[in-house]
């Protein structure tokens, strides 16, 4: 991964295709950086505020692409990206396409190959921000694909959110995206479970959440250690093994059911623990659970 500081950008021409919530925020940031911004959106009125502040509204995607070497795309999904680009493929030659639309790795692979066939460089992106946090220190964006194009345009991209290049294979950013969002949804699953248990005893969600956030911040510290065990495939431990965690989780599920709350979100984890224990790994680290998913 690239972590070297980016040079600051000199004003350049940039095109943004797609002015939904995220595209608007990206375009606004680029305009505020002082770049000559060209935009296109299916619903033209979404460009009004940007145009009032100096952006140029292109009448067609082809005209928008022709205006800049760097073309940032942020639309609903990859099907929309393909529908927009396919009729204007020739216009892409020599340009860098940075697609921050969310999608699956296979779609990024196919789009990256197609863009390359048009003679353009392809960089895929995964944005870790909401529109309101674009340009703030909290925001970061993962990029993968053409390393030269990323390096060439990094200074323009960096102010959108800290730019992290994760590799030259175009689908890598979406792979990371699936991984990071899986972690997020797993956390949300635990949150819903916790709030439901608290609610079953008349404890408000806010009170549970107050303490849960404190506890989860502590629990997060265990992850790098687990990751090291998983990478080394060395699950020897003298502290928190699968046996003890399986007993703990079984207690939690029993107590949860007794409170009249469903265990749908947590029961699958118990099945993984039990599988590892049945294979004789009860004394191994909790991290060995991963072996039931590989
Ligand atoms: N919002 C976030 O916090 C966030 C964060 C990370 C990643 N993302 C990803 O960024 C992408 C855009 O998100 P968003 O929040 O900006 O979505 P959004 O507000 O719903 O905007 C969707 C954009 O796609 C365009 N679009 C949809 N269907 C189209 C079609 N058939 N032809 C042409 N344009 C079409 C829309 O045009 P119209 O304006 O004409 O409808 C609009 O510009 C998504 O892939 C999303 O998953 C969003």
Q: What is the pLDDT of residues 211-268, one digit of tens each?
A: 999 999 999 999 999 999 999 999 999 888 999 999 999 999 999 999 999 999 999 9
Question: Looking at residues 174-181, what average pLDDT do you find?
Answer: 98
Q: Which of 67, 37, 69, 65 is nearest to 51 (CA)?
A: 37
125 CB near ligand 1 (under 6 Å) = no
Q: For position 5, what pLDDT does the model report?
A: 45
Look at strands 70-73 and 140-145 and give their pairing.
unpaired
Question: Looking at residues 5-25, what average pLDDT do you find?
Answer: 87
Q: Which of 139, 137, 116 is nearest to 125 (CA)?
A: 139
Q: Is 90 helix (H, G, I), strand (E, B) or coil?
A: helix
Q: What is the mean pLDDT of the chain?
A: 96
CB neighbourhood size of 264 (10 A): 10
Tokens of 9: 């950008």
| Contacts of range 82-87, beta carbons closer than 8 Å, 24 or more positions apart | 82/111, 82/114, 84/17, 85/61, 85/114, 85/115, 87/61, 87/62
2 CB near ligand 1 (under 6 Å) = no
Residue span(s) of the chain under CATH 1.10.1040.10 come to 177-292
Question: What number does CATH give the domain 177-292?
Answer: 1.10.1040.10
Q: For position 239, what pLDDT does the model report?
A: 87
Residue span(s) of the chain under CATH 3.40.50.720 come to 13-168
Protein residue whose Cα sits closest to atom 17 of ligand 1: 20
Q: For position 3, what pLDDT does the model report?
A: 44
Distance (Å) from CA 6 to ligand 1 centroid = 28
Tokens of 22: 């995220």
| Contacts of range 56-59, beta carbons closer than 8 Å, 24 or more positions apart | 58/15
Q: 59 or 11, which is more confident?
A: 59
Of all residues in the chain, the percent with pLDDT exceeding 70 is 97
Please say if the pLDDT value at position 4 is more than 80.
no
Please say if the pLDDT value at position 31 is more than 70.
yes
Q: Which CATH architecture has domain 13-168?
A: 3-Layer(aba) Sandwich (3.40)
Question: Looking at residues 270-287, what average pLDDT do you find?
Answer: 98
Distance (Å) from CA 46 to ligand 1 centroid = 12
Protein residue whose Cα sits closest to atom 18 of ligand 1: 20
pLDDT tens, residue by residue, 129-160: 999 999 999 999 999 999 999 999 999 999 99
Distance (Å) from CA 24 to ligand 1 centroid = 10
Q: For position 8, what pLDDT does the model report?
A: 65
Within 13 Å and on the Cβ side, how many CA atoms surround 8?
A: 2
């Amino acid at each position: 991964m690239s972590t070297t500081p980016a040079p600051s950008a000199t004003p350049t021409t940039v095109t943004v295709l797609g002015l939904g919530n995220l595209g608007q925020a990206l375009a606004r940031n680029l305009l505020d950086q002082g770049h000559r911004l060209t935009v296109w959106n299916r619903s033209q009125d979404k460009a009004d505020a940007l145009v009032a502040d100096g952006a140029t509204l292109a009448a067609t995607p082809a005209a928008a692409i022709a205006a800049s070497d760097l073309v940032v795309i942020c639309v609903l999904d990859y099907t929309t990206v393909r529908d927009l680009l396919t009729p204007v493929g020739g216009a892409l030659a020599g340009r860098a396409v940075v697609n921050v639309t969310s999608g699956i790795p296979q779609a990024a692979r196919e789009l990256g190959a197609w863009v390359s066939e048009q003679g353009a460089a392809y960089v895929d992106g995964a944005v870790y921000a909401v529109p309101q946090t674009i340009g703030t220190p909290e925001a970061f964006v993962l990029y993968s694909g053409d390393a030269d194009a990323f390096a060439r345009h990094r200074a323009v991209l960096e102010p959108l959110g800290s730019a992290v290049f994760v590799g030259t294979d175009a689908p890598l950013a979406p792979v990371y995206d699936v991984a990071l969002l899986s972690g997020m949804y797993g956390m949300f699953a635990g949150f819903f479970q916790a709030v439901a248990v608290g609610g079953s005893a008349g404890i408000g969600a806010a009170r549970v959440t107050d303490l849960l956030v404190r506890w989860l911040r502590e629990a997060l510290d265990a992850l790098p250690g687990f990751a090291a065990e998983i990478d080394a495939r060395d699950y020897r431990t003298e502290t928190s093994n699968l046996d003890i965690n399986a007993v703990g989780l079984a207690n939690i599920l029993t107590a949860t059911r007794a409170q009249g709350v469903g265990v749908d979100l947590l029961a699958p984890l118990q099945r993984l623990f039990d599988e590892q224990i049945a294979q004789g790994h009860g004394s191994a680290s909790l991290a060995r659970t991963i072996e039931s998913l590989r």
